[in-house]
Structure 1
Amino acid sequence: MPLTRRLRLAVLPVALSLVLAACGGGASSNAPASPCDTAPDFPRRPIEMIVPWAAGGGTDSVARFIGTQLAERLGTQVNVVNRTGGGGVVGHSAIATARPDGTTIGMATVEITMMHWQGLTELTYEQLTPIGLVNSDPAGVTVRSDAPWADVKQLLAEAGAQPGATTASGTGRGGIWDLARAGMLLEAGLPADAIRWVPSEGAAPALQELVAGGVHVSTASLVENQTMIQAGRAKALAVMAEERLPNFPDVPTLREQGLDFTMAAWRGITGPADLPEDVVGELSCHLDAIVHSPAYEEFMGTAGFGIVWRNAQEFGAYLAEQDAEKGEIMRAAGLAA
């Protein structure tokens, strides 16, 4: 065989291996196909994403958008399944008790740090594996447009002078917006019932009750109350966030009004306990890319939802902080079992 041909044949396998390595494939390559491919054998089959709340709601819509994006990135199906009931207990329990192989994940919500304090379940965030926080919407203080209070200070002054005369709503008793009310009052040095809570089926019916004059205050997120605010039938006195919201630049935070208090409803992707680290790493990496994509920003902006990202480790620390904070407020407000 001519020497030149033997050299060409000898070089061919080397060149082929270099091409495969550049494409992220090939048995001789130790590098992953992409920065997110930390678990080479994952996923082996379709993934189920459990949502503890009903179809059509905010949590469901965010989960379905993320599921679609995640399916494209993983090259498999991501099926969103709504497991409702028990104030979130049923769905969160289904996430926690799933097989820890990455084929079942779920959209956990703030209620995972509240339910056990209420005595609804023994399930806690420690029975979940955090993967990534993807959203947060702070509570607000919304009143009717003709309400006599120009700011939160005036509202709290009246609540202190006439305890129980002012009413608030936004969710059921012990829900996240009830906790926002109680925490704000306690931070102001007032009893937790200085503004009396009127339970409702959610933010929407509470808002209708507000504009009808049935209650005085809604502590639901400004996103949930924005229709009446934009229509001029309600006005926002404050937002319980670290800083003002882009969609409500004229609404001051509680901190700007002398109260160092924040409260928000949030959503994050989790899995059952003992989920393999490489699977967590891959899913968290993909979520990072999704949350920081123009498509997610457009979707969340159109819906009015806030974008907050925390990776797996940061989300885990956040869950611990949230659980301790919720327990402290609920005990002080008489909302703990």
Structure 2
Amino acid sequence: MTAALLAALVVVFLGSLSVGDFQIGIPDLLAAFAGDSLPRIDYVLFDLRLPRAITGTLVGLAFGLAGSLFQRLLRNPLASPDVLGISAGASAAAVLCIVAFGASGFVVSAGAFTGSIAAAALIYALAWQRGINGYRLVLIGIGVNAALLSVVSFLMTRADMTDAEQALLWRTGSLYDSTWEKLLPLAGSLAVLVPLALVLARALPTLQLGDDSARGLGLPVERSRIALLLTATGLIGVGTAAAGPISFVAFLSGPIAARLLGGARPGVVPASLVGALVVLCSDFAAQHLLGTQQFPVGVVTGAVGAPYLLWLLAKNNRAGRGA
């Protein structure tokens, strides 16, 4: 399945480079990568489409991997950064930078990363009661999420029109402004965080047995849990800093991977590949399949993710596991 997902990702990636107002055939793509191309193709490919496609792939990988870590660690399909308030923390900090300080670029990205870390720390501190219970953490996360979104709404009402438009576009989640300069910090951060996450994820099967059983097997439970949560939050932070809080990618990636695996619990690698596919496919649809006007990628992911969230809440409530 991992090989099939990787092949599908390559196909969608090439399609995102090829399709557009200026069509580039696959032979021309290969020639351009080989260094034998026309200036016009080079500009469209290397300056416009390639940074956007790579950014979408890396952001999707980060969100899918982080969402899988949260959901498996807390043994709850609702335990996603979108629901827990971590993405809302990034949004609140970034909107504050835009509205209060007129910031842009790196400052907004740094604010988003800091906000995601601060929100995760607050949620963990409030949820701690001689250990962490997954459902308690989700409930507290939902409350923190609502509070932070209220802060965002307040800041938006106080902003002037220009800042409000910039903040709204950023909050939606977009790959419009993808450049090589913004891509390098993202790639460098993921070069550290992704291998770290894969190594730490080896503890997940043991943690899912329960704290007492995990301790009996010699696993340092709290240290492993905190390391996983920090790594997953870092992945969300750098992804959000690069493209904004693209909604529901982290939430959907694990369940989609499970469906593709026939209901089996997916590993973190398939979930991360699904995350990349979700972002690239959604961005392709937002650019080419919704009429003449292009939309931010977050519009498409939100349209898909929101009904699934409602369905999952209703299902859990019928099963007696809802809030």
Do both proteins adopt the same fold according to a TM-score greater than 0.5, normalized to the shorter chain? no
| More contact order relative to length (CA 8 Å, sep ≥ 6) | 2
Q: Return the TM-score normalized by structure 2.
A: 0.26
Structure having the higher Rg: 1
More strand by percentage: 1
More helix by percentage: 2
Q: Return the TM-score normalized by structure 1.
A: 0.25
